[in-house]
Chains A and B, each alone.
Chain A
Amino acid sequence: MVYTRRTVWPLVFGIIMVAYAYLVQSGAMGPVIKFLGTARSADEMRILGYCFGAVGIVAGLWQLLAPPKEGEGDYYLSTVGGVIFIMMVAFVVKWGLDPLMAQWGRAAQPTLGFNFASVMNLNYVVMGIIAGIIIVNVFKVPAWAENGVRLSRLGLKTGVILLGALYSLAELAHLGRLSIVLIGVFVLGSVGVVLWLGVRRNMPNSMTGVLAAGVGVCGVSAAVAVAPVVKAKSTEIAYTIGTILLFGVICMFLFPIVGKAMGMGFIQFGAWAGTGILNSAQVAGAALAFQPTGIETLKVAEIFNITRVLFLPIIVLWLAVWYVKREEGAEKVDLVQVVVGKFPIFVLGFILMFALSSTGIFAPAQHYQGSYFDNSDKAMTTKDKEGKPVSTLLGDKDLAALKAEADKVQRQDQKAALQRLIENKKLMSIDDDDTLRGVVNAKIMGKAANDVLTKAHRAVRHTAKKIAMFRDLIAWFFTFGLVGLGMQITMSSIKQAGGQPLVVGSIVGVIKAIGSLIVVWLLVAETI
């Protein structure tokens, strides 16, 4: 089978990308960038435009001129067209539609009374997936790009592995126990409810088993991993995947709206999304939709999501035993072989990156979510626009604002931390920083004093450059993966999710979403 299609489009897209990067570099795009407010992304536009443009031109020429021959080269090189196609859509969405929608949202706010772009979460993540769904269902993915679109899940997995670099051991110790307990209860509970409902509704055991894994653990990969254990047919895997994706899409849109309406914090929403949403990709989508300008929510959601994946071996064992018991005379399954053979390596990759990050090679070892505390004289100096050194110690006005409201702080530890800040004009320890963040969050003092505390916090908290780079890369890998994911959601796959699996999956999904919302709302404190 030959995969390479003779087409001019990768070459055309490559030329457009290079031309766009050149226009950005020359300043010709200045007015547009100013209008859209995307000046911060100008370097990204140049670098990604030139890089992917060059790849598109080379691959496009090869695809246009070289006679395709069946083989490894044809198979893997033909994916480049799809990568360029997805990136083209991602560029349009991230640098065009996303800021444009944000502008429209702000412009319509006086008339509508609310910012529709913010309320509906119409950011690049959601629009990327919608763009993918529209392309595949209205225009269809071009034949020359189809093979490459199948690389989108590789992008998501790579993003998940790289995400490990943003964590440190201290951070996992902070969230780990809660995530394991919370996820354990909901994973095991969901699997149990699906098995019970499946039997009650006379679903085939294999269908019930694969759906239980999909709904309970981590969506698509869990369904695929458990399929051999319960002897699931490919149609049943497809039904499960369809159900998970459909329910996950609904969750992805609803969760951020509910989260914002309830005024949830980053950690709370991340914990809820990581627990309640069925599919890994859609967990990332919802977290990024909730907090498109930062990555704190995504990281918490992924910690919970990754914890969920760690339950896979237990679920595999449970379902194997359940299936053998239900299916009289069913062939015995080698449990060890299934667990060893199916455990997702990308989860181990995430743990490996986390271990590397904990050693301090990307940022100081004590870094917390990529940021670290440093109040040394060197770290407390920054540069102004002219390059002159400027101290970030608190000034007389700042100190006056704090002193004026210091009486409102009653707790002894908070009082002491505030006193040390006033005496030294800077935060003296991580504990003081955390303590006074609590004062800001609780709004004990007025706005002026809170602004000073926030300024003091920012002065001692620094983000490692390497971690910042990882953040940008992760955002792009996820954008790539989610646009490609949208291109795989066809109307027929959505229809395929109908019937019993959809009913059972939805019932359990809703129970899980509402149950985890209540538990997270009651148990997870806001600490960012």
Chain B
Amino acid sequence: MAEDKFDRGSALTVFKSDRHEDIMALVLSLVIALLVYVFI
């Protein structure tokens, strides 16, 4: 996939930067952890 196919992010990510991707992964993980803690 060429990078010029996307006007944002890179060939490896939809996010503007690694930092954005990291924060999204962190938020997603914390939400999942909360759900596991409450429901399991």
* Contact B18 A344, beta carbon cutoff 8 Å: yes
Which positions in A face B, CB cutoff 8 Å?
A: 1, 75-76, 79, 136, 141, 146-147, 149-151, 153-154, 157-158, 160-162, 165, 220-221, 224-225, 341-342, 344-346, 348-349, 352-353, 356, 361-362, 465-466, 469-470, 473, 488, 490
* Contact B18 A221, beta carbon cutoff 8 Å: yes
* Contact B25 A349, beta carbon cutoff 8 Å: yes
Q: Is the interface of A mostly helix, strand, loop or mixed?
A: helix
* Contact A153 B33, beta carbon cutoff 8 Å: no
Say yes or no: A157-B21 contact (C-beta < 8 A), given A150-B9, A151-B14, A353-B29. yes
Alpha-carbon distance A348/B27, docked complex (angstroms): 12
Alpha-carbon distance A136/B11, docked complex (angstroms): 13
* Contact A361 B1, beta carbon cutoff 8 Å: no
* Contact B36 A345, beta carbon cutoff 8 Å: no
Number of A-B residue pairs, CB cutoff 8 Å, is 91
* Contact B32 A162, beta carbon cutoff 8 Å: yes
A241 (CB) vs chain B CBs: closest residue: B12
- Count residues of B near A (Cβ-Cβ below 8 Å): 28
* Contact A157 B25, beta carbon cutoff 8 Å: yes
Distance of A159 from chain B, by nearest CB (Å)? 9
21 contacts between A and B (CB under 8 A): A1-B7, A79-B14, A141-B1, A147-B6, A150-B6, A150-B13, A151-B13, A153-B21, A154-B14, A154-B24, A154-B28, A161-B25, A162-B29, A345-B22, A346-B26, A348-B26, A349-B22, A349-B30, A362-B36, A362-B37, A470-B36
Which positions in B face A, CB cutoff 8 Å?
A: 1, 5-15, 18-19, 21-26, 28-30, 32-33, 36-37, 40
Alpha-carbon distance A75/B6, docked complex (angstroms): 10
> Which residues of B lie under 8 Å from residue A151 when comparing CB positions?
13-14
Say yes or no: A146-B1 contact (C-beta < 8 A), given A75-B14, A162-B33. yes
> Which residues of B lie under 8 Å from residue A157 when comparing CB positions?
21-22, 25
Alpha-carbon distance A165/B5, docked complex (angstroms): 37
Alpha-carbon distance A469/B25, docked complex (angstroms): 18
Question: When the two chains form the complex, which single residue of B9, B14, B18, B29 contacts A349, counting CB atoms closer than 8 Å?
Answer: B29
* Contact A154 B25, beta carbon cutoff 8 Å: yes
**18 additional contacts (CB under 8 A) given A154-B14, A160-B25:** A75-B8, A150-B6, A154-B21, A154-B24, A154-B28, A157-B21, A157-B22, A158-B28, A158-B29, A165-B33, A344-B22, A345-B25, A346-B22, A352-B26, A353-B33, A361-B37, A465-B40, A488-B11
Alpha-carbon distance A146/B9, docked complex (angstroms): 13
* Contact B25 A146, beta carbon cutoff 8 Å: no
> Which residues of A lie under 8 Å from residue B13 when comparing CB positions?
150-151, 153-154
Alpha-carbon distance A99/B22, docked complex (angstroms): 34
* Contact A466 B40, beta carbon cutoff 8 Å: yes
> Which residues of A lie under 8 Å from residue B23 when comparing CB positions?
345
* Contact A150 B22, beta carbon cutoff 8 Å: no
Say yes or no: A488-B26 contact (C-beta < 8 A), given A165-B33, A362-B36, A466-B36. no
Distance of B31 from chain A, by nearest CB (Å)? 10
Say yes or no: A469-B40 contact (C-beta < 8 A), given A154-B25, A353-B29. yes
> Which residues of B lie under 8 Å from residue A466 when comparing CB positions?
36-37, 40
> Which residues of A lie under 8 Å from residue B12 when comparing CB positions?
150, 153, 220, 488
Distance of B18 from chain A, by nearest CB (Å)? 6
